[in-house]
Chains A and B, each alone.
Chain A
Amino acid sequence: MTGRGRARSRSRGRTRTYEVQPTEAPGVAPLAPGAAAAVPPAETEQLGRGRQKRSTGAAVPEGEIITISAGFQQMTIGERGGRRRDFHDVGVNTRQAIEHVQESKMGVSGAPIELRANYFRILSRPQWVLYQYHVDYNPPMESRRLRSALLLKNEDLLGTTRTFDGSILFLPHRLPNTVTEFVSETRDGQTVKITLTLTNELPPTSPVCLQFYNIIFRRVLRILNMQQIGRHYYDPNDPKNIPQHRLMVWPGFSTSILRYEVSILLSLDVSHKVLRSETVLNLMYQLRQQCGEAKFEDVCTKELVGLIVLTRYNNKTYRIDGIAWDQTPNNTFSKNDTSISFKNYYKTQYNLDITDNNQVLLISRVKKSGPGGRPLGPALLIPEFCYLTGLTDKMRSDFTIMKDLSAHTRLTPEQREQRLLGFISNMHKDSAAKAEMANWGLQFDNKLLSLKGRVLPPEKISQGGKIYEYSPWVADWTKEMRGVQLMSTQPLEDWMILFIRRNSDCAYSLVQFLGKVCSPMGIRIQKPIMIEVEDRHDSLMRALQQNVTSSTQMVVCILPNNRKDKYDAVKKFLCVDRPTPSQCVVARTLSKPQAMMTVATKIALQMNCKMGGELWSVEIPLKQLMIVGIDCYHDTTAGRRSIAGLVASLNQGMTRWFSKCTIQRPGQEIIDGLKYSLQVALKAWFRHNNCLPSRIIVYRDGVGDGQLQSVVSYEVPQFLECIKALGEDYNPKLSVVVVKKRIGARFFAKIDGKLSNPPPGTVVDNEVTRPEWYDFYVISQAVRIGSVSPTHYNVVYDTSGLKPDYMQRLTHKLCHMYYNWSGIIAVPAPCQYAHKLAFLIGQSIHREPNPNMDELLYYL
């Protein structure tokens, strides 16, 4: 158990963790002292659009995404104007190209189940057409505020119900003429001719109208005094305090109104925002006190870069990209051709006094471009005015903090329903909110959406000639597999254990227990070479260099603590320099005698997998099928390199895997690495099966919100091309499935009169799916606390002709095949393997591992 604990906590912070490379403090180098481009961020009327996370997935430069979706880009409107990215991937129509799901994409097998989902029906919505006008100014006006003011002087003509973003005007009624001209006057007497041209009449179902409903809904949230932080809204009046860690949690909601399978629905999910009541400056003081002057710059950079901050003077969020060690509030910047110090600027603009004039400033690269499309320079922020949001890596790995937090953030299905219904009823009670919605004719249902799902039957697990079933609600077969021989094992003959003197008891006890647990599993085990090393900086590494040979089957290191640098060094040496499967164990895990049986069992299983053994399998009916799992790890610091892990099956039973990891070079697309990996994986398959697979199913994880289009139009063609390259007449069936775990959908089942989590194996493929996609949800895993999070599968390309039912069942089967967990996991095993692989490379190794390891699950 404990072995898993470490491995898990290490990989918990996926995509949010950043690399430890202090030498490459980003953003500092290009900033010359007193850089003119650096300006403090201005107060704007726009709501904070700071993105919470660096989006995951294919690292296609933003500009290219824009060109793909240029047609659609035109139609995207923000609440107060301004273009924004479409996080819901609306307008990516993939189903139309998949012939066999034109009529239905629903499966059939399994027992029907009544479900509730966190969606609300729209009872009434505007029936009128929305009129879109293009607004032109002559002479051209640059300031959006001015454009807006000039237009609104003609209220008598336009009416009070309207939306204007600076160039496009939406009206619920039609103006008498297609082209309307009038003259307005600026404050300083300049006359401006304004021309309104009708460009579009939008029916209530058009995507622009949907965006419109979202805008109205956001207005309602604001009326209810919810605060927008990042993309979601939070209630500041009911904070949950966790004083011992100086944290507070704001409860809130993520909302969106979208067109789903049969109707337009409001999706509403509970969200929590962790905030800290101390400023970045305070944190800097603390860090400096803890680590001392010498290491301060490194530690501070590591701790702060990547965090999102709020400022005291506007409602924007900024991501800290670096620290300007040479800048203080006394430095000046130029504004309107005059130079002003930061200190004076904040005093005159916001009456804010800077108390520490020697604090260094924070750098945030602002993505939005300034007036006239000129890119803005990096913003410099004053730590004293910045408040931290979210958790740092250090906090995330702190067990007590996470435990205290989860008391507030983990909600049972019933608590969740209560929150959602409470919000809807508040909204219905508030008169101003009601009025806003009534103006536009919007009305929402007050109960959760009901829908039907199916529960797939539990799988039979076969292991070492025996077949057993697991309890469907627990979805775990740790008990069942006890005492049963493994499917195939690798003997432990030439292996070693390294430890320091203090931990020699642990080491000998581990050997003793491994001896006990291995034989029932069918693992032949010999005495290891016991190597005692000194507790000095480099003695462990030297011992490895001296003792590990090419015939060594396994290296076990007992680490005195969970310091990352030591772990990284061991892994790097044994993955790159001298490729050997290795197992690191923190001594503390071995300190409890009563837990030793469990720990030793776990370690034995893990070592067996790492050396190429197989544990169990489920029945996979399809022949000549290669399953591919892909996930990415994004380095948030140091040049933001991405690491793509690809794992592909090598046999019929999906028990042996080929793993390849590529590190994205600067300026290179992630797909280039994936293409190469897929090619070598196919060659490996050929070696093992003497033929190429006739079907390939790719499970692509790590695609961020709004990046679906790039997967469809870049990655899929590249996969096809890569397959083509293996031979003109080689023409396998290909399916590409985008896997998403972080989604807003939640499903509940009424069980014994109580709202509960649906059982493992629940499939949802109607109502809350999207009509333009071939998509479905599966809840494969079981959770003990809180609400289970379903996984969304979107089949974006499919020439397999496989019935949706088969696709769903195959997907669920694959969730049984992750050897580091004797139970069902939330995603198909190859995705989780790919994640583990990319995480290990991204966090610890930073180099491509030795190809000798490719056919082993060495990264478990």
Chain B
Amino acid sequence: MERIKFSPPLYKQRYYFVIDLIMKSQPKKVVDLGCADCSLLRKMKFQQCVEELVGIDINQQVIRENMYLLSPLPCDYLNPRIRPLVIKLYQGSLIEKDPCVKNFDMASCIEVIEHLELSMLEAFSNVVFGYMTPHTIVISTPNADFNQLLLGLTGFRDRDHKFEWTKTEFQNWALDICVRYEYSVTFAGVGSGPAGTEDVGFCTQIAIFTRMPARNDRWPNSNADCDDIHSYKLLHEVKYPSYCDKNIFENALINEMTYWTEKIKKHFLNSTEQGDTKNNVQHDQESNEDVSWCSRSMEKHCVNWSVCKSADGYLEVQKHGDTIHIPLDQLFTILEVKKICSSVVRLKEALLEIEQFEIAGDNLVVCICDNEK
């Protein structure tokens, strides 16, 4: 028999499994129990749905050495997230309670429980299922049945493992949890053995627990008495730039608005000076272009442009004395503006709040008095 090699490596398969789950269920608050070197968290932070990401590990040194890897990248500042994201890392024990991770949408606990003494497992279940009560919790652990396929393995897969469960043992434990804490469970796994060994199961077995919908009513203020006990130590907290931050939002909006109004203004002045002939020429050129690699998306990006250019009356930029009025609807067609503001109403509200912009009705008023020259 050949040595089994997983591709991609098993640890990556486990991560992809969790990431897939996040993509499917779109949780906002996610906690990784036993986050170790934060490598799963580093994958999770790319999920735009996640707004709060927490990692807990008993070993603070390993967190300290890796925590800056969770810092925002330069591009996160250039292209802020639509929704906020805060990442917090705690040193703490999974058999102690702390309100900072209560009622999360998802918790992951990947290859962690086998490092706990069997005697501690009860306390762990009580904390995770009885106190933290995440909506979904995904737990993975080695499948002892599979060990026979791992050549040369005697004993456990890691020196620090306190136990390795068979498929039956794991499932019995999980089902018992469900009964006691009102969760439902489904089983899965990653890492299949060679053909013919299907009944052994996966190399890593995974249980996905989901809180029963009715549970909250019957466990009204469960363990609220512990809520002021903080047993975890906050090691690191990092806030990602997002448009939910008022400063970032306003700055981005000012930038986009200044850029585009400047462009529209220039174009408007040009076209009124030179008459319609030039516009028509440009228009013709555009329609003659071949449709090739980027032209389709280009239309999307430059829709505001063609609108400004077309001389067929679609453009509603109007001159009022020393100012031009640009309809907000028009500005909202700009992709970048759309990204920052969810709706025209929001755009108007935001612009009204920023001093340097003047709004008249549903128009942005731009001065065309030539202060440049």
Interface residues in chain A, defined as those with a beta carbon under 8 Å from any beta carbon in chain B: 43, 45, 149, 152, 155, 160, 185, 187-189, 222-223, 225, 227, 229, 234, 236, 239, 241, 243-244, 246, 248, 275-277, 281-282, 284-285, 288-289, 292-293, 310-315, 328, 336-338, 348, 350-352, 355-356, 358-360, 387
Contact check, A312 vs B75: say whether CB atoms are below 8 A apart.
yes
Contact check, B7 vs A293: say whether CB atoms are below 8 A apart.
no
Interface size range on B against A: 35 or more
Contact check, A243 vs B255: say whether CB atoms are below 8 A apart.
yes
Minimum C-beta distance from A220 to chain B (A): 11
Q: Which of B157, B258, B292 contacts A187 (CB 8 A)?
A: B157
Q: Which of B48, B69, B292 contacts A45 (CB 8 A)?
A: B69
B312 within 8 A of A: no
Minimum C-beta distance from A389 to chain B (A): 8
Q: Which of A243, A244, A289, A358 contacts B296 (CB 8 A)?
A: A358
B173 within 8 A of A: no
The interface residues of chain A lying within 8 Å CB-to-CB of B256 are: 243
Contact check, A236 vs B72: say whether CB atoms are below 8 A apart.
yes
Contact check, A244 vs B258: say whether CB atoms are below 8 A apart.
yes
Contact check, B72 vs A293: say whether CB atoms are below 8 A apart.
no
- Sample of 18 further A-B pairs with CB below 8 A, known A187-B11, A312-B79, A358-B297: A155-B61, A187-B158, A189-B158, A227-B73, A227-B74, A236-B241, A243-B256, A243-B259, A244-B259, A246-B259, A248-B255, A284-B294, A289-B298, A292-B285, A310-B74, A313-B73, A348-B16, A348-B19
Of chain B, the residue at the smallest CB distance from A160 is: B61
For the complex, give the distance between the alpha carbons of A45 and B13 in Å.
20
Contact check, A275 vs B74: say whether CB atoms are below 8 A apart.
yes
Interface of A is mostly: mixed
Minimum C-beta distance from B150 to chain A (A): 7
Contact check, B259 vs A225: say whether CB atoms are below 8 A apart.
no
Q: Mark B156-180, 1 if CB is under 8 A from A, else 0.
A: 0111000000000000000000000
B357 within 8 A of A: no
Q: Which of A229, A241, A328 contacts B251 (CB 8 A)?
A: A241
Q: Which of B77, B159, B255, B294 contacts A236 (CB 8 A)?
A: B77
For the complex, give the distance between the alpha carbons of A236 and B72 in Å.
10
Q: Which of B73, B152, B251 contacts A312 (CB 8 A)?
A: B73
Contact check, A229 vs B74: say whether CB atoms are below 8 A apart.
yes
Contact check, A351 vs B298: say whether CB atoms are below 8 A apart.
no
B8 within 8 A of A: yes
Q: Which of B7, B23, B37, B254 contacts A337 (CB 8 A)?
A: B7
The interface residues of chain A lying within 8 Å CB-to-CB of B74 are: 227, 229, 234, 236, 275, 310, 315, 387
Q: Which of B37, B78, B262 contacts A244 (CB 8 A)?
A: B262
| CB contact list, B253-289 vs A, under 8 A | 254-259, 262, 285, 289
Given contacts A45-B69, A243-B256, A244-B258, contact A277 B297 (CB under 8 A): no
Minimum C-beta distance from B157 to chain A (A): 5
The interface residues of chain B lying within 8 Å CB-to-CB of A243 are: 254-259, 262
Given contacts A275-B74, A336-B7, A336-B8, contact A387 B302 (CB under 8 A): no
Contact check, B157 vs A189: say whether CB atoms are below 8 A apart.
yes
Contact check, B71 vs A310: say whether CB atoms are below 8 A apart.
no
Contact check, A350 vs B78: say whether CB atoms are below 8 A apart.
no
| CB contact list, B5-21 vs A, under 8 A | 7-8, 11, 16, 19
For the complex, give the distance between the alpha carbons of A355 and B158 in Å.
44
Of chain A, the residue at the smallest CB distance from B16 is: A348
Of chain B, the residue at the smallest CB distance from A228 is: B74
Of chain A, the residue at the smallest CB distance from B236 is: A432
| CB contact list, B288-320 vs A, under 8 A | 289-290, 292-294, 296-298, 301-302, 305
Given contacts A243-B254, A312-B73, A351-B47, contact A358 B78 (CB under 8 A): no
For the complex, give the distance between the alpha carbons of A359 and B257 in Å.
27
The 5 A-B pairs with the shortest beta carbon distances in the complex, nearest first, are A243-B258, A358-B293, A243-B255, A236-B77, A356-B297
Given contacts A284-B294, A289-B298, A348-B16, contact A189 B79 (CB under 8 A): no
The interface residues of chain B lying within 8 Å CB-to-CB of A360 are: 293
The interface residues of chain B lying within 8 Å CB-to-CB of A356 are: 294, 297
Contact check, A351 vs B48: say whether CB atoms are below 8 A apart.
yes
Q: Which of A248, A288, A311 contacts B294 (CB 8 A)?
A: A288
A-B contact pairs, 18 of them (CB 8 A): A187-B11, A188-B150, A222-B68, A225-B71, A236-B72, A236-B77, A243-B258, A244-B262, A248-B255, A285-B297, A285-B298, A285-B302, A288-B294, A310-B78, A337-B7, A348-B16, A351-B46, A358-B296
